[in-house]
Amino acid sequence: MLRRSFLLFTFYFFSAAAFAQPSSQGNTGKPKLVVGLVIDQMRWDYMYRFNALYGEGGFKRLLKEGFSAENTFVPYVPTYTAVGHTCIYTGSVPAISGIVGNNWFDKTTGKNVYCTDDSTVSTVGNNGKAGKMSPDNLWVTTITDELRLSNNFKSKVIGVALKDRGSILPAGHSANAAYWYDGGKWITSSHYMTALPAWVEQFNAKDLAGKYMSKDWTTVLPIDRYDLSTADEKPYESVIKGEKTTTFPHKLSAIPDSFKYESFRTTPFANSFTFDFAKTAIENENLGKNTVTDFLTVSISSTDYIGHTFGPNSVEIEDTYLRLDKDIADFLSYLDARLGKGNYTLFLSADHAVAHIPAFLAEHKIPGGNFEDADLRKELNQMIEADFGVSKAVQSLQNYQVYLNISELEKQGKNVAAVKRAVIKTLQAKPFIITAFETDKLAATTLPEPQKTMLANGFNPKRSGDIQFTLKAGYFDGGAKGTTHGLWNPYDAHIPCVFFGWGVKPGKTNRETYMTDIAPTVAAMLHIQMPSGSVGKVITELIK
C-alpha cells in the first residue's frame, strides 16, 4: 500500500511539473521566427531561368520544400521600391497606404518628398543626414506592427536592408529596430533608439564592406558557362562608379577610396554583407528564442543596383543570382542550425521586377525606347507659358504623372480645365505615349484591365499628380544606358512569391495572386489581425 501511494504521488508530481512547464513554440502552433526576404528587382523568371546553374540548397530548396504562388503580380502602379516593400508588409495599395512612390510632390509645401524622410528625427550611428528617416509617411500598419500588437509588444521586430526604405517600411511603426547602410556602416534613426547597440558598433568596427571591396569581382563559374546572358561588353550597359569598363573581372580593389563604400552597393558582395548582418542580428537579439514569435525583415538591395546598371540580360545579373543562390542556401542552413528545421517560416518575394534595356530590345527587333522626364517637363512648361502666359506651371513630373501649380493658375485667372486639356494633347502627341487623362477622371477613362485597376490602386488624391499618362510596352523614363522599372507591364509587375517552413504545405498554384495577399496570409498563419489597410486575400492553398 505504501509503495502504491508513493508511485501515485510520483506520477502526479511529475505530471503536474510537466504541465507547469512553459509550452514550446511548436505546441502553441506558432513559428519561433518569421523571416520576410525581399529580393529587390527580382523578376519571377529568374527562379527558373538560371535554375540549371543553381545549387540544391537555395532557390531549388525553396521551390521543392516550399509553396510557390507562380502568378503573383503587383496590383498597382508605379512599381517602385518603397511602394513594393510597403505593399508586401501591409497588404495595402498606395491609394490607402499613402506611399505612392519612392518620391512624390507635396503641393502644400511645393517640395519633393522622399518616402521615409523625417526632419524630426536624427541619425544614430554617424553624423550624417542619411538617418533622418522614419515610417512617418506610412498611413497604415504593417504585419510586423500587428504581430507586436497581438501580444502586447512582446515580439521582437527588426528590419535590415542596404536601402533605408527597404528596412523601415517593412519593419513598421513599432519595430524594435530598423538598420540601413551608409558609408560602409549600419545606421538607424532616433525613431528607434538613441544609440546603436554594442553589437552593431562591433560589427561596424570590422569594416567588412571595405574587406569585401579589397577583392575583385570575378564570375563564380567560368564565364563561358554564362550562355543565358549577352556578351560581357555592351555599349548600353553602365559602369560601377569608379570603374571605366563594364567587363569582368571588375577591379573593385582599384576603385578609389572616395567611391569605395558607395560602389560597394553595386556588387553581389553587398548581398552577402546583408546576410552577415542579419545573422548577427538574430544572434545578438536572440530572435526566435522568445516566448512568442519574432519577425526579421531582410531586403536584398544590390540586385536592384546591379540590375539598373547592367540590365537583366547581363553576365553581371546572372552571376549575381548564382551568388545569391549560395547566400540563400547558407542562410537557410544557418536558420536550420540555429532554430531547428520546421521551427521558422520564411517567405521570399520581390518589390518589383524590371524592364529590358531598350537598346538590347532593338538588337533583337523588339519594340522599346526611353525618354527623359526633365525634357518632357521642360516642353510642357514652354507650351503653357507660350499659350497661357504662366511660367513653371508644371511643378513636377514623376511617377508618370504631371503635377500642375493649380493655385498659381487660378490666382492668375487662367482656365485650369483648358490648361489640362492642352497638357493632355501635348502628351498624347508623343509617339511613345498611348493615352493621358486627368487622374481624378480615371473612372470615366476607357482603359483595359488590369491597367485600369492598377492605376486606381496607385492613385492617392493627397499625393498623386493631376494628369497621368501611359506608355507603349518597352518604354520608360530613363537614360540610354542601363534600365529601370515602374510600369504596369508583366516585366515590371510579375514577381516571385514563395513560402517555406513552419505551417507551409509544399506545392504551387498557377492561379493569379497578388502582392497584397502576402501580409494577410502571414496573419492567417499566425492567427493575428491583418494590417489596418489590407485589401489582400489569404493564399489558402499553402497553409498546412
Per residue in 254-292, pLDDT (tens digit) is 999 999 999 999 999 999 999 999 999 999 999 999 999
pLDDT tens digits along 169-184: 999 999 999 999 999 9
Could you give the angle at the alpha carbon of 245 between the alpha carbons of 242 and 251, nearest 5°? Answer: 60
CA distance 272 to 329: 12
Unique residue bearing C-alpha cell 476607357: 446
If asked whether residues 330 and 379 sit together in one domain, one would say no
CA distance 276 to 407: 51
**196: in domain:** yes
CA distance 162 to 288: 23
**171: in domain:** yes
CA distance 88 to 518: 6
Q: How confident is the model at residue 23 (pLDDT cuts 50, 70, 90)?
A: very low
Residue 204 one-letter amino acid? N
Secondary structure (H, E, C), 281-338: HHHHCCCCCCCCCEEEEEEECHHHHHHHHHCCCCHHHHHHHHHHHHHHHHHHHHHHHH
Residue % of the chain over a pLDDT of 70: 95
Cis peptide before 170 (omega within 30 of 0): no
pLDDT of residue 22: 37
If asked whether residues 131 and 186 sit together in one domain, one would say yes
pLDDT of residue 26: 41
Q: How confident is the model at residue 108 (pLDDT cuts 50, 70, 90)?
A: confident
Burial degree of 270 (CB within 10 A; 0-12, 13-18, 19+): buried
**10: in domain:** no
81: annotated active-site residue: yes
Residue 12 pLDDT exceeds 50: no
Residue where a domain terminates, one of 472, 496, 519: 472
- Mean pLDDT on 124-132: 96
Contact 123, 131 (CB under 8 A): yes
Contact partners, residue 336, CB within 8 Å, separation at least 6 = none
108 three-state secondary structure:
coil
- Mean pLDDT on 200-224: 97
If asked whether residues 213 and 261 sit together in one domain, one would say yes
Could you give the angle at the alpha carbon of 280 between the alpha carbons of 136 and 185, nearest 5°? Answer: 60
Q: What are the helix (H) ranges across 2-137?
A: 2-20, 46-49, 59-65, 81-90, 94-97
Query: C-alpha 221: how far from its chain's center?
Result: 28
Q: How far, CA to CA in Å, does 197 sit from each of 133, 134, 161, 194?
A: 18, 18, 17, 9
Burial degree of 2 (CB within 10 A; 0-12, 13-18, 19+): exposed
If asked whether residues 306 and 210 sit together in one domain, one would say yes
pLDDT of residue 28: 52
If asked whether residues 465 and 492 sit together in one domain, one would say no
Contact partners, residue 20, CB within 8 Å, separation at least 6 = none
CA distance 224 to 326: 20
Q: Which domain holds residue 460?
A: 369-472
Residue % of the chain over a pLDDT of 90: 94
Residue 157 pLDDT exceeds 90: yes
CA distance 71 to 64: 17
pLDDT tens digits along 24-51: 344 358 999 999 999 999 999 999 999 9
Q: How confident is the model at residue 189 (pLDDT cuts 50, 70, 90)?
A: very high
If asked whether residues 352 and 416 sit together in one domain, one would say no
**99: in domain:** yes
Residue where a domain terminates, one of 444, 472, 500: 472
- Mean pLDDT on 335-344: 98
Contact 306, 268 (CB under 8 A): yes
CA distance 315 to 232: 6
CA distance 296 to 301: 16
Q: How far, CA to CA in Å, does 144 sit from each of 276, 333, 362, 501, 529?
A: 22, 24, 44, 18, 11
Contact 257, 214 (CB under 8 A): no
Q: Which of 81, 188, 219, 483 is catalytic?
A: 81
- Mean pLDDT on 332-337: 98
If asked whether residues 466 and 496 sit together in one domain, one would say no
**468: in domain:** yes
Burial degree of 8 (CB within 10 A; 0-12, 13-18, 19+): exposed
If asked whether residues 176 and 270 sit together in one domain, one would say yes
pLDDT tens digits along 401-428: 999 999 999 999 999 999 999 999 999 9
If asked whether residues 292 and 164 sit together in one domain, one would say yes
**147: in domain:** yes
Number of domains the chain contains: 2
Residue 88 pLDDT exceeds 70: yes
If asked whether residues 240 and 133 sit together in one domain, one would say yes
**356: in domain:** yes
If asked whether residues 447 and 509 sit together in one domain, one would say no
Residue 389 pLDDT exceeds 60: yes
Q: Which three cell numbers stand for residue 316?
A: 553581371
If asked whether residues 389 and 434 sit together in one domain, one would say yes
CA distance 82 to 102: 5
Unique residue bearing C-alpha cell 485650369: 416
Residue 13 pLDDT exceeds 80: no
pLDDT tens digits along 432-471: 999 999 999 999 999 999 999 999 999 999 999 999 999 9
pLDDT of residue 149: 98
* CATH number of the domain encompassing residue 426: 3.30.1360.150
**339: in domain:** yes
pTM of the predicted protein model:
0.94
* CATH number of the domain encompassing residue 168: 3.40.720.10
pLDDT of residue 308: 98
Residue where a domain terminates, one of 472, 501, 534: 472
Q: How confident is the model at residue 107 (pLDDT cuts 50, 70, 90)?
A: confident
Q: How confident is the model at residue 9 (pLDDT cuts 50, 70, 90)?
A: very low
